[in-house]
């Protein structure tokens, strides 16, 4: 990251990036997937979630105070499988609750999964207060958008 | 309002005006009070709350989807008194709960009052779902900032 200049938007006081679930999917994720080389989101950077501990994520974000947004690519647990590898060096993200359907004009456009970070290794991990929402398109793709808080 | 052009900020999707209580007081209200002729807030317009019904306020706002922000000047109930006139043509705003102290770096900078709109005339007004937060400086001034939702 050294030498890299953080891109900042000059926003008046009180303006924040508070996207809706629908905007995250229909604008940000769809654009990222359709043109991942050229689409630059001013508030959402790329991150490798397997190489980042949750407490390092705020520092890697483009903006955010209590919530931070990222794009990431899914790492398959096994090359031939469909399960996602959600481990980091110090722990793992574990799904909690049921996935939520996200609609846009009554059309199902994506899903939102809630995950909690545990330190250590399953099944003996120690639950933390780090929470992440993972947004995926209602279609097959390796890209997902993440909101960490 | 005819002929007036609404000033719009070109914000990327997901960016919204979601100011903190502290920002409303220490940036917006303080600037408005110190330079009311020249200070233009891109998200907060001026309004006469005695001449506006709550359901007309969203249309008078510069921006907002579920919350709208305004500056207003206090109308004294009686020329020599300190009580504020909170009546409109069709009803009145009534205080609910206790005023909340707003701090900035441990310093008391202002107060936040919560009001609910009642149709009709006190004490027989009919409660509505319109809510307003009124922010005032911790000092004497006729200007207040309002958040309506």
- To the nearest whole angstrom, how far is the Cα of B43 from the nearest Cα of chain A? 9
**Number of neighbouring beta carbons within 10 Å of residue A84:** 18
| Interface contact flag, B19 A11, Cβ < 8 Å | no
Round the CA-based radius of gyration of chain A to a whole number and report it. 16
Whether residue B104 lies within 8 A of chain A, CB to CB, comes out as no
HEC assignment per residue over A33-92? HHCCCCCCCCCCEECCHHHCCHHHHHHHCCCCCCCEEEEEECCECCCCCCCECCECCCEE
Burial of residue B123, with CB atoms counted within 10 A of its CB: 0-12 exposed, 13-18 middle, 19 or more buried:
exposed
Q: Is the ipTM of this complex over 0.85?
A: no
Tokens standing for residue B61: 């706002």
- To the nearest whole angstrom, how far is the Cα of B30 from the nearest Cα of chain A? 13
Helix (H, G, I), strand (E, B) or coil at A16: strand
Give kind and range of the element (H or E) at residue A137.
strand A126-137
Q: How many CB pairs under 8 A join A and B?
A: 49
DSSP code of residue B6:
P
What is the pLDDT, as a whole number, of residue A2? 43
Number of domains in chain A: 1
What is the pLDDT, as a whole number, of residue B62? 94
Give kind and range of the element (H or E) at residue B20.
none
What is the pLDDT, as a whole number, of residue B80? 75
Rounded CA-CA distance A85/A78 in Å is 8
| Interface contact flag, B43 A16, Cβ < 8 Å | no
Interface test with B, best of A15, A19, A41, A64 (most B CBs within 10 A): A15
Q: Is B12 part of any domain? A: no
Q: Is B110 part of any domain? A: yes
Rounded CA-CA distance A2/A126 in Å is 33
Q: Which position has the token pair 């483009």? A: A62
Q: Is A8 part of any domain? A: no
Whether residue B13 lies within 8 A of chain A, CB to CB, comes out as yes
Whether residue A13 lies within 8 A of chain B, CB to CB, comes out as yes
| Interface contact flag, B14 A18, Cβ < 8 Å | yes
DSSP string for B87-100: B-SSEEEEEEEEEE
Looking up residue A71, the CATH number of its domain turns out to be 2.170.150.80
What is the pLDDT, as a whole number, of residue B3? 43
Q: Is B3 part of any domain? A: no
Q: Which domain holds residue B38?
A: 21-148
Task: For residue B27, give the chain A residue with the closest CA.
Answer: A13
Asked if residue A86 lies in contact with residue A93, where contact means CB atoms within 8 angstroms, the answer is yes
- To the nearest whole angstrom, how far is the Cα of B108 from the nearest Cα of chain A? 19
Asked if residue B147 lies in contact with residue B68, where contact means CB atoms within 8 angstroms, the answer is yes
Q: Is B14 part of any domain? A: no
Phi, psi (degrees; rounded to nearest 5) at A59 = -70, -20
Give Cα separations from A133 to A24, A44, A47, A67 (angstroms).
11, 14, 15, 11
Q: Is the pTM of this model over 0.90?
A: no
Q: Is B53 part of any domain? A: yes
Which among A101, A149, A102, A106 is positioned nearest to A129, based on CA atoms? Answer: A149
- State pLDDT tens for residues A105-145: 998 999 999 999 999 999 999 999 999 999 999 875 567 78
Helix (H, G, I), strand (E, B) or coil at B61: coil
Whether residue B68 lies within 8 A of chain A, CB to CB, comes out as no
Residues of chain A where predicted confidence (pLDDT) is lower than 50: 1-7
Round the CA-based radius of gyration of chain B to a whole number and report it. 16
Rounded CA-CA distance A148/A115 in Å is 9
> Residue A42: which of B12, B16, B42 has the nearest Cβ?
B12
Whether residue B40 lies within 8 A of chain A, CB to CB, comes out as no
Asked if residue A84 lies in contact with residue A64, where contact means CB atoms within 8 angstroms, the answer is no
Q: Is A12 part of any domain? A: no
> Residue A16: which of B13, B16, B42 has the nearest Cβ?
B16
What is the pLDDT, as a whole number, of residue A3? 43
Give Cα separations from A115 to A98, A125, A131 (angstroms).
10, 14, 6
Residues of A within 8 A of B15 (CB-CB) are: 11, 15-18, 43
| Interface contact flag, B15 A15, Cβ < 8 Å | yes
Q: Is A88 part of any domain? A: yes
Successive 10-residue mean pLDDT values, chain B, 149 residues: 51 94 96 90 94 96 94 82 87 96 93 97 95 88 77
């Amino acid at each position: 990251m050294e030498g890299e200049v953080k891109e900042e938007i000059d926003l008046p006081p009180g303006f924040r990036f508070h996207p809706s679930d629908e905007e995250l999917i229909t604008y940000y994720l769809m654009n990222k997937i359709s043109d991942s080389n050229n689409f630059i989101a001013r508030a959402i950077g790329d991150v490798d979630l397997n190489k980042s501990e949750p407490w390092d994520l705020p520092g890697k974000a483009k903006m955010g105070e209590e919530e931070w947004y990222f794009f990431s690519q899914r790492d398959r647990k096994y090359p031939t499988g469909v399960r996602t590898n959600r481990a980091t060096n110090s722990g793992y993200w574990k799904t909690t609750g049921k996935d939520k359907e996200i609609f846009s004009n009554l059309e199902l456009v994506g899903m939102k999964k809630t995950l909690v970070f545990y330190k250590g290794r399953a099944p003996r991990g120690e639950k933390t207060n780090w929470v992440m929402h993972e947004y995926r398109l209602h279609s097959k793709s390796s890209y997902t958008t993440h909101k960490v808080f």
